[in-house]
Amino acid sequence: MENCLFCKIMKGEIPSAKVYENEYVYAFRDINPQAPTHVLVIPKEHVASLNDTAGIPDRNLAECLRAIPVIAAQEGLTGGYRVISNCGPDACQTVPHLHFHILGGTQLAERMA
């Protein structure tokens, strides 16, 4: 999709620190990390949020979820990690391209919000 920040990042039109890529998924470091490890996992096919996933094949979504533990292992998150997908304004979603935050590398807060 034109003018989508994460589509541009995925295509390499905007630089990013890539940590993982396959046919369906792109993952890169968050520019404003909120934990020692903070990676964003996105489907290569544009979809705005979890509310819109009926618009992409199941495979694309499944590959995002399957990439998460692979990336966590690659990042050495042996003690665990948290996965968040902000969906819509109440969750403060700022980039309307579905993404999963992987947060780890420290003891995370017990409360999530």
38 part of the active site: no
Q: Please report how close the Cβ of residue 106 comes to Zn ion at its closest, in angstroms.
A: 30
In the list Zn ion, ligand 5GP, none, the entry touching 24 (Cβ below 5 to 8 angstroms by class) is: none
What distances in angstroms separate CA 20 from CA 37, 64, 99, one per listed residue?
14, 11, 14
Q: Please report how close the Cβ of residue 71 comes to ligand 5GP at its closest, in angstroms.
A: 14
- What are the b/e assignments for 51-68, b being 16+ CB within 10 Å? eebeebeeebbebbeebb
Examine residue 99 and tell whether it contacts Zn ion (CB under 5 A): no
Examine residue 97 and tell whether it contacts Zn ion (CB under 5 A): yes
Examine residue 14 and tell whether it contacts Zn ion (CB under 5 A): no
**Exposed, middle or buried: residue 113 (CB in 10 Å: 0-12, 13-18, 19+)?**
exposed
In the list Zn ion, ligand 5GP, none, the entry touching 62 (Cβ below 5 to 8 angstroms by class) is: none
What are the catalytic residues?
99
